[in-house]
Amino acid sequence: MSAVARAGPIRWLGRAAAAGFDALVPAACIGCRRGVAPDGPPLCALCQSRLPRLASPRCPRCAEPLGNIAAAVGELVRCGTCEGWPDILTAADAPFAFEGLAARTVRALKYDRWRALAPWMAARMAPGVETIASRIGSDGAPWLIPVPLTPARLRERGFNQAEELASALADRGAGSLVRLLERRPGGGRQAGVRGALRRANVQGRFRLCDVPLEKGCSAIIVDDVLTTGATTIACAETLAEAGFRSVGAVTFARTLRPLDGDESPTGTLRP
């Protein structure tokens, strides 16, 4: 049997072993590793209080904290980070900054495959979905469109963390999960990559699935982290070509713009 042929069974056995380990080992807090109830929150009460919430006031379009700028001129001011966003992308929100325990939680879902985290994370994202739905003019429950992975990355990881979050949001009644986008193979990894290269990696990489659409729809793109916005912009532009009227984006966390203007992410994911 070739190495390629063996890869599938080996990967499956690895996932099965990991699932068995999770079933045998007592649940532990992601932050401090103290024990928590298996059917309770993945963070203890103390660590939940330490999650880095995004400060207010924030940019009404991209949720970047504005600091003292808005205090002087009013909360309608925008941060400047989202000036280059396409017109269709009108609102984004996230409950946490991508640092500390929030970044650790994202990594646990994304790389450690703790899929049971998704419902808890979605519960923190749900208020943002409601806010965005009102801003984009969604009639009724909004469409929740997860950012897709390439087929190769999906096989490697075994699941799409954005779809897990969108599905959990749909289970809470926040909207309807619609798998509308596909991701073409190619493009480099986004983890740890700066702005210009991130945009190049995703340019033209998304396409619509064969789903009947009505012109003038609105939707909310769902992902785990908003970094430079490159992936969200690429998805929104694809939806604009399909006739969508307005698009928002919700994530569990977002990176903060560094004070020195460097575009590198502040809470970089590992490859």
Give the pLDDT confidence of 234-246 residue by residue, as tens digits.
999 999 988 899 9
Spatial separation of the C-alpha atoms in residues 227 and 231, rounded to whole Å? 9
Q: Do 114 and 213 sit in the same domain of this protein?
A: yes
The strand pairing partners of 179, in sequence order, are: none
Query: The domain spanning residue 234 has which CATH number?
Result: 3.40.50
Q: Do 113 and 203 sit in the same domain of this protein?
A: yes
Is residue 57 assigned to a domain?
no
Q: Do 100 and 18 sit in the same domain of this protein?
A: no
Is residue 260 assigned to a domain?
no
Domain containing residue 8: 1-50
pLDDT for 7: 44
Q: Do 229 and 137 sit in the same domain of this protein?
A: yes
Sequence-distant (6+) residues with CB within 8 A of 110 are 157, 161, 224, 269
**Sites in the chain below the pLDDT cut of 70:** 1-26, 68-78, 186-204, 212, 215, 258-271
Is residue 59 assigned to a domain?
no
Q: Do 112 and 234 sit in the same domain of this protein?
A: yes
Is the Cβ–Cβ distance between 71 and 228 less than 8 Å?
no
Q: Do 2 and 122 sit in the same domain of this protein?
A: no
Total domains, the chain: 2
Q: Would you give the distance in Å from CA 164 to the centre of its chain?
A: 10
Is residue 61 assigned to a domain?
no
pLDDT for 137: 85
- How would you class 215 by CB atoms within 10 Å of its CB: exposed for 0-12, middle for 13-18, buried for 19 or more? exposed
Spatial separation of the C-alpha atoms in residues 143 and 133, rounded to whole Å? 9
Q: Do 243 and 131 sit in the same domain of this protein?
A: yes
From the CB of residue 234, how many other CB atoms can be counted at a distance below 10 Å? 23
The strand pairing partners of 182, in sequence order, are: 207
Element (H, E) at 197: helix 195-202
Is residue 263 assigned to a domain?
no
Strands 206-208 and 181-183, sheet pairing: antiparallel
Is residue 15 assigned to a domain?
yes
Tell me which DSSP letter residue 213 carries: -
Q: Do 160 and 44 sit in the same domain of this protein?
A: no
Spatial separation of the C-alpha atoms in residues 165 and 148, rounded to whole Å? 12
Q: Do 27 and 114 sit in the same domain of this protein?
A: no
Element (H, E) at 27: none
Is residue 167 assigned to a domain?
yes
Q: Do 31 and 104 sit in the same domain of this protein?
A: no
Q: Do 23 and 96 sit in the same domain of this protein?
A: no
Is residue 80 assigned to a domain?
no
pLDDT for 267: 44
pLDDT for 199: 56
The residue written with tokens 């400060």 in the block is 55
pLDDT for 251: 98
Q: Do 36 and 161 sit in the same domain of this protein?
A: no
Give the chain's end-to-end CA distance (angstroms, integer): 29
